[in-house]
Chains A and B, each alone.
Chain A
Amino acid sequence: MMARYHRHAGFNINLDSLTDILANTVGIMIFVLIYAVIASRGVFIAKRLPKLQPTTKERVVVICTGNALFPLKVDELIDRYTEPLNGLVYYNIPQVVETLNKRRISDGMLEVTGQFHCSEATGLFSSTRKIDSGYIIIVPCAGIQGDTTADVEISGSYFRRLLADMDKDRQYLLFFLSVDSLEVFRKARDFARQYGFDSNWEPGNIQWPLRIWALGDSGGESSGSSFLDKIMGG
């Protein structure tokens, strides 16, 4: 009798609970599907659309190219590089040009060199000397790749050190943005904004080496423009 009972009972499970769970999950998924259909018009992003505001703050330039950031102390570097021009007189033009062409200035991240040319014309009663042209050339130092998107939040990165050195009441960030660097630019700007830094950006197609026309016939560029304007123009 016992043996018969066991054979008929077998392995009997109740599927009601599992059915309930599955039916409820399907119902929930239908609601999720309806929501997804409604929301699939796109990603809604609450945007602050800021206006350009006049400022008396001093700019601090950051080059964004190759999806990396290169803080560029442009004025300081160029002032240091062009120091020999301060002693320029008619008689030492060739020596100054030679000094400039040999000169190499670095701030640990970027290196500045130059290509200057001078000419001398001797007439019957007079001679002329002049600097015909001059380029300042800026490249990253050997082994420097700039800060990537991941580096922006890492303490000790070039960008973080730049922010630490900045005075947000007196300075603002100016990003020169290449087409391939939107991601790192957004990350850096958002990060800087969190810490109260003002910023602006300028579109450009900046590639290394960065050549800035410094002296002589600029080949159509407006005279009197700043080094920065020339970068933008380039």
Chain B
Amino acid sequence: MQPKFDLFPFLGILACILGSLVMIVMSMTALSIGPGAAEVWMIEGTTDQVPVLIEWDGISVTIHPGKVRVPWGAAVENEGRNASPFGKLLSDIAAEKDKRYLFIAVRPSGFGNFADLRELIHKRGIIMGYEPIDQARPLGVE
């Protein structure tokens, strides 16, 4: 007499695992493309100048990729010629204008006083670009 295997319990377990995996993958996908997901900017193409990314939210400047946050009060001191990380960054870029430029990701909360930051950078003769970004979306750079 041949041994008899009943595959139904095994099939049940497999179907449950499959369902669970589908749910996990869909949840992760939803989270990774949803409103809480980080937006990671990869700099496209090659240019003669390398952008340095900073983030402006109206009350502080965040320097990427280290995400060093500098309050606006400290950043603007002495027209940006100060010892804060932002002041040092401006000095570094001003010394290498041919090789680097500043790129600013502007949060909607920073729209109102963005002109102040822009004027500060402009006075140092630094080349810049800027782009709006959603208020809550985390930002990274590769």
Instruction: Give chain A's interface residues, CB within 8 Å of chain B.
Output: 15-16, 18-19, 22-23, 25-26, 29-30, 32-33, 36-37, 39-52, 177-179, 182, 185, 201, 203-205, 232
Give A32 to B140 CA distance when docked, in angstroms: 24
Residues of B within 8 A of A49 (CB): 41, 43-44, 51, 53, 103, 129, 131
- Majority-rule SS of A interface residues: mixed
Chain A residue nearest to B7 (CB atoms) is: A15
Residues of B within 8 A of A42 (CB): 32, 37-40, 138, 140
**Interface presence of B127 (CB below 8 A):** yes
Give A29 to B106 CA distance when docked, in angstroms: 39
Instruction: Give chain B's interface residues, CB within 8 Å of chain A.
Output: 7-8, 10-11, 14-15, 17-18, 21-22, 24-25, 28-29, 31-33, 37-45, 49, 51, 53, 101, 103, 106, 108-112, 114-115, 127-132, 134-135, 138, 140, 142
In the complex, the answer to whether B25 meets A33 with C-beta atoms within 8 Å is: yes
Query: A49-B129, A51-B129, A201-B132 are known contacts. Are A43 and B21 too (CB-CB below 8 A)?
Result: no
* Cβ-closest 9 pairs across A and B: A42-B38, A203-B111, A179-B108, A29-B21, A47-B41, A22-B14, A15-B7, A46-B44, A49-B103
Residues of A within 8 A of B132 (CB): 177, 182, 185, 201, 203
Give A37 to B24 CA distance when docked, in angstroms: 10
Residues of A within 8 A of B115 (CB): 232
Chain A residue nearest to B114 (CB atoms) is: A203
- Shortest beta-carbon distance, A234 to chain B, in Å? 11
A-B contacts counted at CB < 8 A amount to: 115
Give A177 to B7 CA distance when docked, in angstroms: 63
Residues of A within 8 A of B33 (CB): 43
- Shortest beta-carbon distance, B137 to chain A, in Å? 9
Give A177 to B39 CA distance when docked, in angstroms: 21
In the complex, the answer to whether A47 meets B129 with C-beta atoms within 8 Å is: no
B112, B129, B140: most-surrounded residue (chain A CB, <10 A): B129
Query: A29-B25, A205-B111 are known contacts. Are A39 and B32 too (CB-CB below 8 A)?
Result: yes
In the complex, the answer to whether A44 meets B11 with C-beta atoms within 8 Å is: no
Residues of B within 8 A of A41 (CB): 32, 38, 40, 140
In the complex, the answer to whether A52 meets B129 with C-beta atoms within 8 Å is: yes
Given A19, A26, A33, A36, which contacts B32 in the complex, CB threshold below 8 Å? A36
Give A15 to B12 CA distance when docked, in angstroms: 12
In the complex, the answer to whether B131 meets A30 with C-beta atoms within 8 Å is: no
Chain B residue nearest to A51 (CB atoms) is: B129
Residues of B within 8 A of A39 (CB): 32
Residues of B within 8 A of A51 (CB): 49, 51, 101, 103, 127-129
In the complex, the answer to whether B111 meets A179 with C-beta atoms within 8 Å is: yes
Chain A residue nearest to B138 (CB atoms) is: A42
In the complex, the answer to whether A33 meets B41 with C-beta atoms within 8 Å is: no
Give A45 to B101 CA distance when docked, in angstroms: 20
A16, A48, A201: most-surrounded residue (chain B CB, <10 A): A48
